Amino acid sequence: MSRPGSHRSLPAAAAVAALLLLLFIAIDTPTADNGLEDQVMQLNERIAGLEAKLADLASDVRSQHPDPRMEQEAAQALLGINNMIRAGNSEQARDEMDDFMVTYRNTRAGKQATSLHQELGVVGKEVPGEWNFTGWFQGEDDIDLDSDGTTILVFWETWCPHCRREVPKLQTVADQYADQGLQVLGVSRLSRGGTEEKMMAFLDDNNLEFPMARDDGTISAHFGVAGIPAVAVVKSGKVVWRGHPAKIAPEMLESWME
């Protein structure tokens, strides 16, 4: 009598057996008489392709039948990484995340952490050698982009509802930490029908006073911005944090200003 649920593994087992059979055939099947070296090369290519298929199949099986213990370990590990970030230890979190993705990529936590992994990948990157903004909406003379202090860059657009909610909050942050040298810089591409008139109206309506620059996509790409709103925090010429502005916590701000 089969164990309850054991029939679920039969398709996967059959697929593995089929791939192993193909691997045997690939090894056993003679190739065209193009010389021994060509035959070996063709055989290696066949084997590499079948090994890749086996790896993909194993990944699919793991994702369909998650290991509860590994899922719990992954969730705890991801929580620890997020705590490192909140404590201002983004570089340590970046290194831990690299190891995390090697071990737990196919877990639920691993799949949820894909965006965080990409954001942490920007941490430690140097600022652009040239800040090639295509123009300024306001404040060009009020910011020092070569400063060793802390600068918050927020990438956003006027059509984005989340941006319209989060960007005005950064004016409060800018005012609160101005005496400690914090700079805030808004960056927009004026995409999706955005215009200078719409930008200036939003700035006026929300009493936004921090500098605002226009980007052709070059600066956004440098900081790995794919979705908005997005923030890059720069200190001493390097990125110390990348993420969504809503995730900025008071303790993170304090650590950046030290």
Bridging pattern class, strands 150-155 and 238-243:
unpaired
Convert the pLDDT of each residue in 22-69 to its tens digit.
Answer: 655 555 555 555 567 777 777 777 777 777 776 666 666 555 666 999
Q: What is the predicted pLDDT for the residue at 110?
A: 95
Q: What is the predicted pLDDT for the residue at 214?
A: 98
Judged against a pLDDT cut of 70, whether residue 254 lies above it is answered with yes
Q: What is the predicted pLDDT for the residue at 42?
A: 73
* Judgement on whether residues 157 and 176 belong to the same structural domain of the protein: yes
* Judgement on whether residues 42 and 72 belong to the same structural domain of the protein: no
Q: What are phi and psi of 151, to 5 degrees?
A: -130, 130
* Strands lying side by side in the sheet with 230-235: 135-138, 212-214, 183-188, 150-155, 230-235, 238-243
DSSP letters of 66-77? --HHHHHHHHHH
DSSP letters of 201-218? HHHHHTT--S-EEE--SH
Given pLDDT bands bounded at 50, 70 and 90, which one contains residue 12?
Answer: low
Mean predicted lDDT score pLDDT of the chain: 87
DSSP letter at 192 equals T
Q: Where are the alpha helices (DSSP H) in 105-214?
A: 108-112, 114-120, 161-166, 169-176, 196-205
Residue whose structure tokens are 């997005």: 230
Report the CATH number that the domain containing residue 175 is assigned in CATH.
3.40.30.10
* Judgement on whether residues 193 and 175 belong to the same structural domain of the protein: yes
Q: Is 80 domain-assigned?
A: yes
Calpha distance 216→239 (Å, rounded): 20
Q: How many Cβ atoms sit within 10 Å of the Cβ of residue 23? A: 17
Last residue of a domain, one of 17, 34, 64: 64
* Judgement on whether residues 140 and 232 belong to the same structural domain of the protein: yes
Bridging pattern class, strands 183-188 and 150-155:
parallel
Q: What is the predicted pLDDT for the residue at 5?
A: 44
Residue 40: give the domain boundaries. Answer: 8-64
Convert the pLDDT of each residue in 165-182 to its tens digit.
Answer: 999 999 999 999 999 999
* Domains held by the chain: number: 3
Q: What is the predicted pLDDT for the residue at 51?
A: 73
Enter the tokens of residue 149.
């202090």
* Judgement on whether residues 82 and 58 belong to the same structural domain of the protein: no
Judged against a pLDDT cut of 50, whether residue 1 lies above it is answered with no
* Judgement on whether residues 148 and 250 belong to the same structural domain of the protein: yes
Q: What is the predicted pLDDT for the residue at 33?
A: 53
* Judgement on whether residues 113 and 21 belong to the same structural domain of the protein: no
Could you tell me which residue, 123 or 25, shows the higher pLDDT? 123
* Judgement on whether residues 88 and 186 belong to the same structural domain of the protein: no
Convert the pLDDT of each residue in 69-84 to its tens digit.
Answer: 999 999 999 999 999 9
Q: Is 12 domain-assigned?
A: yes
Q: Is 3 domain-assigned?
A: no
Q: Which helix (H) or strand (E) element contains residue 121?
A: none
Convert the pLDDT of each residue in 148-158 to its tens digit.
Answer: 999 999 999 99
Instruction: State which amino acid sits at residue 79.
Output: L
Judged against a pLDDT cut of 50, whether residue 7 lies above it is answered with no
Convert the pLDDT of each residue in 209-218 to its tens digit.
Answer: 999 999 999 9
State pTM to two decimals: 0.72
